[in-house]
Amino acid sequence: MNQNKYRVAQHLFLVQSPDDHLDIPTYIPSFAPFVSAEEGDVLFTLCANIAEPHSFKGWDEIGQFDCGGANHGVYIDADGNYGFEISLPGEGGPLSCTMMANPDFTQCEALIVPGQILQHSQFGLNNAIMMAYAFASATYDTLLVHASVIRNNGYGYLFTAPSGTGKSTHTHLWYKNIPGCDLMNDDNPVVRVIDGKAIVFGSPWSGKTPCYRNIQAPIGAITRIEQAPYNKVQPMSPIEAFAMLLPAVSSMKWDRRVYNGVCQAISRLLPVTPIWRLECLPDADAAHVCYDAIHVKS
């Protein structure tokens, strides 16, 4: 048995394999900054191997989980255990990996489809771990958010929007035009509420931008980006903010434990985090208008 322990947003978890030929760091290279020797309780354990995929024949198909540009089939059995078919991106993408998990995602098993190229195997295992993390941590005021986050003057600023709207474009505009900025994560940062304070963490999941940084910062603001022929920023009401954030968080609405945990975490996040709406063009002025309105004043 070979195994590695990782620490992401202060949560420890274990990835192990009974197969000495499966070198875990090779299959999840983006996790290298998060390797940990810390002792303590683990959030979950995931056992990975290269083997024929699980069969979910006789299980109930309950939905699709949209992840990384691919739709992953979700199944459940009579005991409440979950099964996932993790497919490669694109319509009708081939199966890359399957995962089985107990009802609270503390014990998971991922089987990587044999014979595929390493990049596809990496995609499958990476997505399996990401889902295990999101669903196991849902009751710990932890949110895996579809957002791009930039740091300025010690604070993290998250920008969220549907794919293709311009999250990465806007954070790049901050980086280029606002002094003292650095990118924390470009697709899936982790947000936690700890002792009443909102904190954003880098993660091993960053979409197409290789930004895997084991760093954290207090949240300065969360901003929803909408394309417009002008640049305008305004605060969102708590109801608007809740409705905006919920679909931006990795969740399963059919699982009461996960869904209630996500809703509770968002409810605790809103009173301690400014939430804004930015209607904007993809230009430098948008970055300045947004920064002037939302940045934390000294």
Domain boundary among 110, 136, 162: 136
Whole-number percent of the chain with pLDDT over 90: 88
| pLDDT-above-70 percentage for the chain | 98
Q: Which of 232, 237, 198 is nearest to 217 (CA)?
A: 198
Query: pLDDT value at position 1?
Result: 73
pLDDT score of 86: 95
Q: Do 54 and 151 belong together in one domain?
A: no
Confidence band (pLDDT; 50, 70, 90) for 233?
Answer: very high
> What's residue 253's pLDDT?
86
> Model pTM?
0.95
Domain count, the chain: 2
Q: What is the pLDDT of residues 257-291, one digit of tens each?
A: 999 999 999 999 999 999 999 999 999 999 999 99
242 burial via Cβ count (<10 Å: 0-12, 13-18, 19+):
middle
DSSP string computed for 14-52 = EEEES-TT--HHHH-GGGGGGB----S--S-EEEEEESS
CATH of the domain at 216: 3.40.50
Q: Per-residue pLDDT for 68 more than 70?
A: no
Average pLDDT over residues 114-143: 96
Please tell me whether residues 113 and 150 are part of one structural domain.
no
Model confidence pLDDT, tens digit, residues 174-227: 999 999 999 999 999 999 999 999 999 999 999 889 999 999 999 999 999 999
Of residues 207 and 56, more confidently modeled: 56
* Same domain? 122 vs 19: yes
pLDDT at 185: 97
Residues 101 and 63 in one domain: yes
- Is there a single domain that holds both residue 234 and residue 271? yes
Kindly state whether residues 78 and 167 are assigned to the same domain.
no
- Cβ(26)–Cβ(15) under 8 Å? no
Q: Does 55 share its domain with 159? A: no
Q: How many CB atoms lie within 10 A of CB 102?
A: 15
Q: Which pLDDT score, from 0 to 100, does residue 69 have?
A: 64
Range of the domain at 279: 142-294
**pLDDT for 152-165, tens place per residue?**
999 999 999 987 78
Distances from the Cα of 214 to the Cαs of 60, 110, 120, 141, 167, in angstroms?
38, 25, 25, 19, 21
Average pLDDT, the chain: 94
Nearest to 221 by CA among 211, 206, 210, 233: 233
Model confidence pLDDT, tens digit, residues 192-207: 999 999 999 999 999 8
pLDDT at 215: 98
Final residue in a domain of this structure, among 107, 136, 165: 136
